[in-house]
Structure 1
Amino acid sequence: MCEEHFDVAVNARATEFQSGPHRSQAPAPVVDISIVIPCRNGAASIRAQVESIADQISTADFEILVADNGSTDRSAEEVRSIPLGSAQSIRVIDAGQRRGANFARNRGAEVAMGSLLVFCDADDRVGAGWLDAFWTAFNDGVELAGGTCNRFYPENKGLISARTGLIDGLNFLPWPTGANCAVSRTVFDNLRGFDETFIHGGDETEFFWRAQLRGYALMLVEGAEITYIQRPLGRPAFRQSLVYGRSHVSLYAKFHSYGMPRTPFRLVLASLTRMVFLFATSRPRSQRRSEALKQLGIQLGRLQQSAKLRIWFP
């Protein structure tokens, strides 16, 4: 779609993106930043993440909200036993009425008191200076942001891959990972939160695409750095990739009329060729074999969701 036609499509349809889940306006801010962490059965990892946030040295006052999405382990108990550190408060929010990270994020944001909302996950680690990097950007006028990620592979001798920032893997608009992103309270309320129909994959992508289509600029905050802990090699990584592949089709179903293209056949062919090569030249449970399984999972997920939605996205 040419740029002129794309702008017309965006303007003609902008009102459609105002119909997200309704959330009441938050009370007047009494802290600067609210960190919202969706969590489901994260007892094994949540303490380390919350402590890494509570220990942040920041010029901003901040609260930590763990939105418990129906955990059946001791996630809530773990969180309640964590010392405040530099945080004004650490709260567990009941977000178990409906499954999904986006429901949990919205529930946390609904009771958050900060003028800046920062979202991260329960199983990663934020770096030193992470919070102040977002706060500085916010005070410089940034309303929509993502941070940087160092991908950590626990099963592969702690390998950390090259640092990554905003993602641009679907030839449309960039987006940050939901494990490291921030949005002003004003923008969040204007967008009416995350789309709770995106339950398995694409959840943060939908939000940040919708925001950009409404005219908000997405910025990369390089100093907001996390260690992004990856799924174990093999089947867990394959299952996650299936989810990603399905989400690509769901995103295409929602955004193709705004200019999101199908994946060019040459790129699909290149992906399949790389997958076959990696399978043929890798050892079982190696990083290369895991990459091959991820490619396979994405392609199978796309096929499954294409059949389900009756819309073709290879």
Structure 2
Amino acid sequence: MKLLQIFIMVLFITMNLNAEDFISSNTCKACHPTIYGEFYNSSHRKASIFEDPIHKAVWDLHPNKEKESYTCAKCHTPSDTKLIQKLKENKKAIPEKNSIQSHEAISCVYCHSIKSIEEHEKVNTNVLTSEKKVFYSANEDNRIVKDKKYKDEVSLFGMMKKKSGSPYHTIDYSNEDFYTGKMCMGCHQKLQNDNKFDLCRVDMKGAQDEEKNCITCHMPKVKGTATSIKITDKHRFHGFASASNNQDLLAKYIKINFEQKNDSFEISIKNESSHNLFLQPLRLAQLKVNVLKGNERIELPTKSFMRIIGKDKKPTMPWLANSVVKNNMIKANENRVIKYDYILKADDSI
């Protein structure tokens, strides 16, 4: 009987630990409603094949689909721990539509549990903390604090109240990677295919400067409190600004200027970010210029910027590629000047 009780207790503890692997992001909403709303509309929440139609289209063509091995899960749906475990055990691992795949493919708790990054040749690995309900975050005023706990302080005969920390979890503000943006580099720094060809790669130097890095650009401080427990004027944007989402937050890093010549004009595009305009293949940037002559609109030739990968000088899907077929993407800190052989009149506008 005692043996049965011990077994039941061990089973209960194991179930508890598994249940707490990743607390639902919906739970976070209670204290972080603004941040949760941003997250819910982000590419992180929509990273699965059930929420991202482009990712699904690529997956449907991927040879690993026939092998029933969704290796994309490492970065696209890391919150689905059952799927991740199947991959580790070399079992059949195909995404099933469930609440995790639909609502938190990359969850709040997953990202805030990243302790460090292991660098590897093909793709990096996120190392997660083993401590339960201890989450990493950045706070310049508390960055030496490793175990911030909830405090509800009362002073001046009960007239002044001050709350800090969270009643639901401990906060570790001491992780340097949450200040430099290195915590993003487990998934976003590089990816090689089986041909040892870089599908995408960004210099790790971009995650060293606390003044300008992944977080400061793609998660800028915006108006609104980070939590309902302690009201703040601003918080880090959790919608993750990108070329397809909240582009206005990134607009300040792209400077577009116009210069008129006697027989032509020039448009210059200055990329002030620390990486190429687009890092991944299957991306296209375009400059479209129209000349307005009164009520007439004249479309000039569109200029396209892209990095095309492939094999034998022909474009292919990423898993087949072993070389760059074409690359005229605007590079980091580059000022690209495009000349238009078009004579503008005094009343014309572009």
Structure 1 length-normalised TM: 0.30
Query: Greater share of helix residues, 1 or 2?
Result: 1
Larger Rg: 2
